[in-house]
A = this chain, B = another copy of it.
């Protein structure tokens, strides 16, 4: 069923039917309800492409998901972020188009999205400390919102980000207050902006107590379970092993826990762990008492909000770049306790 048929059936022109359906005022209420009823009956929906051609808008948002070309790793937080963004889109009748691309081809993927006119805007995932995509997207002129930030970017851009620096500063202080002095940081790759900022926060908290960061206690790698495990093992093997660990993801924390258990140590007594908790839907951090003490910020909610920001940006192109910092809550769970002595 298309517009032509529908309007023929109704004995009206395409113009009138189109206007009736799109809520234009120059259509009488009588015809409007008649048209709407018919549209519903025949399950008529304007063809996406045709409408796009006519309006110049695609009603679609692009998400470019980078996969580490080396390890082929799909960041697990995407699933929840996208679920959140999807909620916003479906409410606004937008589609979401996903491009999975190894980071080497990323620039090309954005160019292509633009040239083919596939989307009206883009959400940028996983920004690096110095991310070339921000300049690129400015150049190609497509509205975008960054999930995260890029510390060394010079151009203005819209972003939504957890205050990672503050979160890890607070987490570190929390451990210091408990008497820990040997605190390890099991971070994500520090080319990633979020990891970079978390480290800054960690270092700031140490500095505030006059402590110097110990390079031996700082590791940085892809945040898989396996890496969390390996890193923790190595840390526990040090001559002066840490009494507390800060991990950058719930998943590394699980790996860390495995290493801790393996040594027969008790979490929260022999060693403390604080992690970042994205509130992944399949990894709820406990019910009543959180399993891990954590800096908590829902990535799903971030998805919802980032999508909404982008839609606003698209609706009003001469809006100045919007920024939305989110604070992570520091929640206390069973994985931390006073430093053993």
- Seen from chain A, the residues whose Cβ lies within 8 Å of a Cβ on chain B are 1, 43-50, 52-53, 58, 60, 65, 67, 71-76, 78-80, 82-83, 86-87, 90, 95-101, 111-112, 115-118, 223-226, 251, 254, 257-258, 261, 280-284, 286-287, 291, 300
Contacts and interface: CB of A to CB of B under 8 A. Distances in A.
Contacts of A71: 281
Contacts of A226: 283-284, 286-287
Nearest to A111: B43
B101 A90 contact: yes
Given A224-B283, A251-B282, 10 more contacts: A43-B111, A48-B58, A48-B118, A73-B282, A74-B282, A75-B282, A79-B79, A86-B99, A224-B281, A225-B282
Which of the listed residues A117, A225, A257, A282 has the most CB atoms from chain B within 10 Å of its own CB? A282
Tell me the number of copies of this protein. 2
B100 A82 contact: yes
- Main secondary structure, interface of A, reads mixed
A83 B74 contact: yes
- Interface centre among A47, A101, A111, by most B CB within 10 Å? A47
A43 B115 contact: yes
B287 A116 contact: no
Nearest to A56: B49
Which 7 A-B pairs rank lowest in CB-CB distance, beginning with the nearest? A86-B100, A45-B115, A49-B52, A49-B49, A48-B116, A79-B79, A74-B83
Given A82-B100, A100-B82, A282 B224 contact: yes
